[in-house]
Amino acid sequence: MTKVALIDDHESVRLGLEAALARTASTEVVFSGANVAAYLTWRQAAVASPADVVVLDLTLGDGTTVSENVDRVVRDGSSVIIHSVADRPAAVREALAAGAAGIVSKSSPTHEVLGAIVAVARGELIDNVEWASAVEGDREFADAQLSAREREVLRLYAAGLPLKAVAERLGVAYSTAKENITRVRVKYVEVGRPAPTKVDLLRRAMEDGILHDAPDGAAPHG
């Protein structure tokens, strides 16, 4: 029996997968919820062992990043399948780098999702078009390997907030926020994608899926 946890902030998606999994004799849904924190809290309260496979939405509505979510679940002892529309290659690459076993599109037939769960439970990786496309895209934009905090500082700063406001929003010292932006710039230089200006940082943030919409009047060109 494969124990499965479903993490998606769209209840209708979870209910659909729950119903499909309930019709199979080889899987059991042990948790269904909107975010990774809720799953880990449930695990601790129930003194339950980690799910064999966690089916995780690429983007959750709680402000977490896909790399944070995948890393937390993998370190907790579960394999991860990303269940997504797969329209954000940068985020898909993040998930791969963080240790996800593969991706299944939300447009895929239910039997493909079930097949992926079975395969990953056996320790296999998922080889599919969306995953291959994301891996191929990784060669185009060298990953600067930003930490979760660096990504958050970059996201707010590139969106137009002054660095002082970024620091206040995150509850850190101004010097800490400034140090994070300096490290971000250094990391982008190291992978051959320098970002000396704020407009360059905006462009990098959009290229890597850290920021999805340019602030009004600040759309990068070129």
What pLDDT shows up at residue 133? 60
- The pLDDT tens digits of the residues spanning 15-51 come to 999 999 999 988 999 999 999 999 999 999 999 999 9
Domain that holds residue 153: 143-208
pTM over 0.75: no
Domain total of the chain: 2
140, 160, 188 - which closes a domain? 140
Residues 42 and 117 in one domain: yes
Q: Both 125 and 152 in a single domain?
A: no
CA-CA distance, 124 to 159, in Å (whole number)?
39
Specify whether 131 is located in the same domain as 79.
yes
Q: What is the mean pLDDT of the chain?
A: 85
Strand order in the sheet with 2-7: 27-33, 2-7, 53-57, 79-84, 102-105
Tens-place pLDDT, residues 134-163: 555 554 556 778 888 999 999 999 988 999
> Are residues 158 and 126 part of one domain?
no
User: Has residue 214 been placed in a domain?
Assistant: no
Query: Residues 44-69: what's their mean pLDDT?
Result: 92
3-state secondary structure of 27: strand
Are 129 and 20 found together in one domain? yes
Q: How many CA atoms lie within 13 A of 119 on its CB side?
A: 16
Q: Structure tokens of 26?
A: 């080889």
Whether 188 is in a domain gets the answer yes
